Structure 1
């Protein structure tokens, strides 16, 4: 593999590892927000209108930013009916084909995310709830997460290509 591809793969892997390790702590932030609301509501009879949405936004950031890291860890669901019996080269070829489909899907998803982000920024879009938070921050996070997953998909494609060719990356 050319040196530029190796650098790309290493850079994308390193970036997704850092972002993924950061995003794993967002679950604790969400739990803290929900615990705060539970205590506030039961002990002090003081419910808050913003808690559910903050928890939803935090969870969305968690799985969107952690998607690339999950791909590095091979943590996605795979039907292992035949796959486990195949040789590493055959798995790599099949993974390359599915990576192409995934890249196509993520490009379409990114197009929609950018369009949605543009709309949220242009019209100062807010959520249609009583709290009405702005939606641009979560849409920025959504777009970043999709970009990171797209880059990781391309990196995984190159890793599988190297494996299929009998090379190491």
Structure 2
């Protein structure tokens, strides 16, 4: 028995371009839920970043004490928050897009474009970066890499390891999106349309 494409229930004006909404699926919901959870936990890193910045400003301007470690810690926190936040943006569909052409297309055509972009562009790029990050992190760990600045932070490999974790999360978010595309186009996995 072959899977047949599943159409969304017809709605008035369904033949016109509308807001692009892919159906959810059980597996994509699991992946999206995990990425959202990581995103919510990671969002607290911005509070820590603000505290570090305030501490550095107070030390510098009130006590005339500069700290290279605090300055580097700011960059590290920002880098971690940014790279882990990318997957959250993808799940929430808040990432940058150029939809000048796609916004005029019907939902199924947009789903085909999305599918093509995920399979032939985004996922190969993400997997390449993920695989290339492993020797990069390993070398940093073996060399016990630290900051080149005098008095800078040690254990640079910890920061570099977030390249791996950030891109792994992006792969999970991209797979969830891919499953939603295949659900719309082919009915696999079974689509779950929002109740209207």
Q: Give the TM-score normalised by structure 1.
A: 0.90
Secondary structure at 2:68 match in 1:
coil
2:91 aligned with 1:72, yes or no? yes
- After TM superposition, list the pairs within 5 Å mapping 1:76-155 onto structure 2: 76-100=95-119, 101-130=121-150, 131-155=152-176
Task: List alignment gaps of at least 5 residues for structure 1.
Answer: none
* Structure 1 residue 93: Cα displacement: 0.7
- After TM superposition, list the pairs within 5 Å mapping 1:8-47 onto structure 2: 8-47=27-66
Mapped partners of 1:42, 1:139: distance in 2: 31
Question: Does the 8 A contact of 1:88 with 1:163 survive in 2?
Answer: no
Question: Does the 8 A contact of 1:90 with 1:164 survive in 2?
Answer: no
RMSD: 1.7
> 1:3-28 CA deviation, whole Å, 9 max, x = no partner?
xxx55422211110110011122122
Question: Does the 8 A contact of 1:70 with 1:76 survive in 2?
Answer: yes
Mapped partners of 2:79, 2:130: distance in 1: 16
Mapped partners of 2:27, 2:157: distance in 1: 29
Mapped partners of 2:136, 2:149: distance in 1: 19
Larger-Rg structure: 2
* Higher share of residues assigned helix: 1
Aligned residues: 165
Tell me: higher relative CO, structure 1 or 2? Use CA pairs within 8 A at least 6 residues apart.
Answer: 2
> 1:24-45 CA deviation, whole Å, 9 max, x = no partner?
2212211111111111110111
